[in-house]
Structure 1
């Protein structure tokens, strides 16, 4: 059995802990209360049993069986079908791990179907069984919509540590960029991919919460729950805005890094050019005496300066004069 927890509530209090789905169905009718069934990766038979009893729409059932859905909110008659993508940040791997949670909300029941370990709905259930709202009324007394609110609140609050983890990594990347780390581009691209995936999980929430708020008004949900929903919506807006800012910042970091890399390459090219100038200058200077010495080393019998008393000093002086002249010229041009 994939039933993690199953309970029947009457007047906001747990009155039964059924051992099976069929017993849950019976006790909901017996107590005229609300049933909350929590499933973890259910098999096809369990989902079809729920679908038959609660009259779940075939399309919603198909989505639950297949999983791998994007966040969305669909209403099928009296049943609201919600798909959420909870997330948690794995610091060691610098990776966002996404789960998938499906919530069926009906007139007298809530069915939560988890396809991953995250989030911990046992904590949500425990909080709801103990908490009261601003009017001193137990949240569970406000019906299935209150459970949906609590689940949404848990998922959105779970995004907070993910945002903090991404922000911390971006700060580290900025330091790497200005330190000239050659591996920073790979890290930026990897983190940008995580941010884009996170956007896909969070962006649809705004439209979902707006549609849910509109539906609450249409179905006369009490004002207290609307306040809670607006609070969740405010948190979701802040998360989405920060994630959007992360994506823009990472794109800017990529641009800055490319500029710095190009600048360093230009500086390196300039340094190499200066070295080439120096080497070329000294090569030209040293070539002059080599040329003179080569001419006088040809061993011709008839050369005017061979029998001249001042031929040797003249050749040395010529070498020195040419080398000095080249040195002065190159020095004035800044090559030496």
Structure 2
């Protein structure tokens, strides 16, 4: 069901039963001081979203953006309300892929509405944890916004962990031998996913920075420290992903250098053996010529002397090549 939860909180304690989403506008003074409503929606229909928007006086442009799953992270101000779009990420079903979702948050002094699109991570556990901490929940809707953003950013960590394991395994394997074509294709897939992650999740840093430093409605100045903590988590996640991208690029470069070195060693070995074998080949070629007047042909010790010369020269070359590390 798209409407996951609709509950009112007073001084951090939840009321029994859900509040009615009638679609009838409710004046702000109708909500007692120290109370706020938290409405959680998941993939709502246009009609359901319109009913919630009418009841809480949400701006139509913000509602339109909340139903568009391709928004980038941002913060918009509509009068005394905030509209925040955050992007969620989780491991995809396809190997080395990331599936993205979106969570839009409407924030007022007396309400918070969260709208999840394409995100499998429900806020049920988060809501339960917050309800168990009534002291912090009593701080209001801005604390709930911080908790939702922190929950979303924490979802980036398993992706970073998984990609790091893959990248390190590829890096270790590349030291022993040059990556095969399948591994190279996988490296480029990983780098493409990491670039996409930076493009989609990157604006989350700007979003949290604005919440942590800008003077915005509904956000109490004392709550900015919570958003600085989220900002730090976002920066760590982005730094890890950028580091992984550099690791993969360095792996390809290092593997190429190692392969060039291995090929150079083989080339030197072949050149050394070719030089050694060139000696008997040249001597045999000279004595294989059909001339009658070769002085050594009728010399009794000519044959053993030729063999001795070949062995001496070849042995000398072998010793020299081994000394310089070619063999």
- Give distance in 1, aligned partners of 2:240 and 2:293: 89
> Match for residue 210 of structure 1?
209
- Give distance in 2, aligned partners of 1:248 and 1:117: 29
Contact 1:86 1:101 in 2 (8 A): yes
> Match for residue 260 of structure 2?
262
- Is the helix fraction higher in 1 or 2? 1
Cα deviation, residue 168, structure 1 = 2.4
> Match for residue 157 of structure 1?
154
> Match for residue 238 of structure 1?
236
- Give distance in 2, aligned partners of 1:91 and 1:46: 30
Q: Deviations over 1:75-111 (max 9, x none)?
A: 2222212121222346993333332211121232222
Contact 2:82 2:217 in 1 (8 A): no
Contact 1:86 1:118 in 2 (8 A): no
Matched, 1:186 2:185: yes
SS in 2 for 1:230: helix
Matched, 1:14 2:11: no
TM-score (normalizing by structure 1): 0.78
Cα deviation, residue 16, structure 1 = 5.2
> Match for residue 3 of structure 2?
3
Contact 1:152 1:232 in 2 (8 A): yes
Matched, 1:314 2:298: yes
Contact 1:199 1:240 in 2 (8 A): yes
SS in 2 for 1:100: strand
- Give distance in 2, aligned partners of 1:108 and 1:244: 39
> Match for residue 142 of structure 2?
145
Q: For the structure 1 residues 255 and 266, does the alpha-carbon distance in structure 2 shift closer, same or farther, using more than 3 Å as the test?
A: same
- Give distance in 2, aligned partners of 1:23 and 1:51: 8
Contact 1:85 1:100 in 2 (8 A): yes
Matched, 1:50 2:52: yes
Contact 1:34 1:144 in 2 (8 A): yes
Q: For the structure 1 residues 237 and 304, does the alpha-carbon distance in structure 2 shift closer, same or farther, using more than 3 Å as the test?
A: closer
SS in 2 for 1:6: strand
TM-score (normalizing by structure 2): 0.80
Contact 1:51 1:57 in 2 (8 A): yes
Q: For the structure 1 residues 243 and 182, does the alpha-carbon distance in structure 2 shift closer, same or farther, using more than 3 Å as the test?
A: closer
SS in 2 for 1:242: helix
Greater RCO (CA < 8 Å, at least 6 residues apart): 2
Trace 1:1-336 onto structure 2 (pairs within 5 A).
1-15=1-15, 17-18=17-18, 21-22=21-22, 31-32=31-32, 33-89=35-91, 93-132=95-134, 137-139=135-137, 141-183=138-180, 184-215=183-214, 221=220, 223=222, 225-289=223-287, 291-292=288-289, 295=290, 314=298, 321-322=305-306, 324-325=308-309, 328-334=312-318
Q: For the structure 1 residues 273 and 267, does the alpha-carbon distance in structure 2 shift closer, same or farther, using more than 3 Å as the test?
A: same
Cα deviation, residue 188, structure 1 = 3.0
Q: For the structure 1 residues 50 and 286, does the alpha-carbon distance in structure 2 shift closer, same or farther, using more than 3 Å as the test?
A: farther
Q: For the structure 1 residues 23 and 64, does the alpha-carbon distance in structure 2 shift closer, same or farther, using more than 3 Å as the test?
A: closer
> Match for residue 325 of structure 2?
none
Aligned length: 316
- Give distance in 2, aligned partners of 1:316 and 1:38: 107
> Match for residue 308 of structure 1?
none
Q: For the structure 1 residues 274 and 209, does the alpha-carbon distance in structure 2 shift closer, same or farther, using more than 3 Å as the test?
A: same
- Give distance in 2, aligned partners of 1:232 and 1:199: 17
Structure 1: gaps spanning 5 or more residues: 297-302, 306-310
Contact 1:73 1:81 in 2 (8 A): yes
Structure 2: gaps spanning 5 or more residues: 322-327
Q: Deviations over 1:285-335 (max 9, x none)?
A: 44445x25xx38xxxxxx799xxxxx9972886566556545544554459
What is the aligned-residue RMSD (CA, Å)? 3.5
Greater radius of gyration (CA): 1
